[in-house]
Amino acid sequence: MRRIEAVLFASASPVPREDLARIVGQGTSVDLLLEDLAADLEGRAFEIAMVAGGWMFRTRPVYAPAIRAAADVGDQLLDLNEFDVAILAAIAYHQPITRDGLKDIFGKEISRDLIGRLHAQGLIGTGPRAPRRGAPYTFVTTDAFLAAFGLESLRDLPDAEQLNDAGLAARA
């Protein structure tokens, strides 16, 4: 368990289960060790979480204001406004999607600067070229997107009914 803890502590990105299995050896249950580690961390300021297909340490959300107030994390925070998050959500739900596809959803042109900024932050990447004339680029979300929003996979995105219930989507 302590080897897993050390690897997760040292890693800046989620560590896949297969990598953890190599650390503890064949025949050892990674899942049981992760459960033991999670129990060991109960009541602590941080936890282990399954994010983007791997495990990582993260601070419990309740401590986020204290971290922002005391630590220099300004360059680590995502500078996203509501429209940026809406674009990310559209890409996540409709990927791979072109800029024209985003224009169809939002009813306006999506700037190259916005796409470039989301790409520079590592939240989106280039997907397969669209199979049509001119072969425009498509966009997909990345593991950094999953980690930033605390998702294990895109299956963790809320479905349309949940969004409607929360008042976050237009009702049809």
Residues 47-56 pLDDT 10s: 898 888 889 8
Token pair of 168 as six digits:
């976050």
Strand partners, 51: 54
Look at residue 171 in the predicted model and tell me its pLDDT. Answer: 39
Instruction: Tell me how far apart the alpha carbons of residues 78 and 84 are, in angstroms, rounded to a whole number.
Output: 10
Instruction: Tell me how far apart the alpha carbons of residues 122 and 53 are, in angstroms, rounded to a whole number.
Output: 16
78-165 CATH, one of 1.20.58.1690, 3.90.420.10, 1.10.10.10, 1.10.1370.30? 1.10.10.10
pLDDT over 70 for what percent of the chain?
A: 88
Query: CA gyration radius for the chain?
Result: 19
Which architecture, in CATH terms, is 2-66? Orthogonal Bundle (1.10)
Mean pLDDT of the chain: 83
Nearest to 45 by CA among 62, 69, 68, 25: 62
Residue ranges, comma separated, of all CATH 1.10.10.10 domains in the chain are: 2-66, 78-165
For the cut 60, the answer to whether the pLDDT of residue 74 exceeds it is no
Nearest to 54 by CA among 122, 135, 146, 167: 146
For the cut 60, the answer to whether the pLDDT of residue 77 exceeds it is no
Which amino acid, residue 76? Q
**Residue 157 pLDDT level (bands cut at 50, 70, 90):** confident
φ and ψ of 144, to 5 deg: -65, -35
pLDDT, average across residues 59-64: 80
pLDDT, average across residues 164-168: 63
